[in-house]
Amino acid sequence: MGLKRTVSIIGTGSYVPEKVLTNHDLEEMVDTNDEWIFSRTGMRERHIAADDQATSDLGAEAAKKALADAGVKAEEVDLIIVATLSPDMFFPSTACFVQEKIGAKNAFCYDLGAACSGFLFALECGKNQILAGAAKTVLVIGAEKMSAFLDWEDRTTCVLFGDGAGAVVLQSRGDEHGVMDAVMGSDGSLADLLCTPGCGSRNPASPAVLEQRMQYITMQGRDVFKHAVSRMGKSVVLALEKNQVSIDDIKCFIPHQANSRIIDAIGRRLGISDRIYLDVAKYANTSSAAIAIALDEAVNEGVIQKGDLFVMTVFGGGFTWGANVVEWCK
């Protein structure tokens, strides 16, 4: 395994709002129950942002923790990428709001939209900006206020998501592998299976659109499940092959925390069930924030230590998917 990449994660951070919404709380809101939710998703609770908290507020808190962990000052950051499907506004970028909140006055900023795959896609963008010489220090954030885009009368979707943010700091490390090659893919022909159909340019906000509740997330669960298991499983295999790494060399697998049954199916298919990091019971699906939060927790719990190889894999609306291999260098 030769030296391929020289960009490493040098700090991690995460943040979830204080309010916790349990399955039992949801029983009072929609026609559901704890047993039904847990048996189908593995979820027990999720965190919900306050009314006065925006996605950028969540992202800024995670960013501050990641910068502190890395020992990097905000003014040293050259680039901020925020992966999100729940931006503060259509424009400007949520990344610009984060920049102002943390004082990263020297950074250029943009958002990346790849739904639940966003953090991994943004990580690849940040890495390549450093390799191209466009930036030295990059802050990559996955942040979501999913609760603002949920139909709280639809039990098939409102039980699945939570709010939160995770962040990493990237810098060049020439003597370590760091963030290695990624495999990523998309299939726009399946976009309507998981989307928010209203309030964009296709169906602009109007009384009719709001009456049809098109401003909320819609999902064809069975189809999403099937494609998620297939795409994430294949992308892990391809990422390992691309980086010439054996699956036996991987210490930990961090999949998108969408649903425990999806994750279990991938684990059985690849024979890695005993090495999967799982926190979906605590946070539900936080979309682009999910693997960023899980990574921060895995590191802080000592599951991942210096020199370990781990794999992150994602799947989201678009459809989008991917996987990468990372050597932990901190």
Hey, what are 171's tokens?
Answer: 């810098």
With H, G, I as helix, E, B as strand and everything else as coil, classify residue 272. coil
d(CA 74, CA 209): 41
Q: Which residue has the tokens 């027990």?
A: 44
Read off the tokens for 60.
């800024």
CA distance 210 to 65: 38
Q: Which of 175, 258, 269, 179 shows the shortest CA–CA distance to 219?
A: 258
94-102's contacts with Cβ under 8 Å and 24+ in sequence apart are 94/54, 94/55, 94/56, 94/59, 94/143, 95/141, 97/54, 97/56, 97/60, 98/56, 98/59, 98/60, 98/63, 98/141, 98/143, 101/56, 101/57, 101/60, 102/60, 102/63, 102/64, 102/67, 102/74
Q: Which residues are catalytic?
A: 116, 256, 285
Q: What is the C-alpha separation between 314 and 239, in angstroms, rounded?
A: 12
Q: Is 108 exposed, middle or buried (0-12, 13-18, 19+ CB in 10 A)?
A: middle
Distance of alpha carbon 55 from alpha carbon 118, whole angstroms: 14
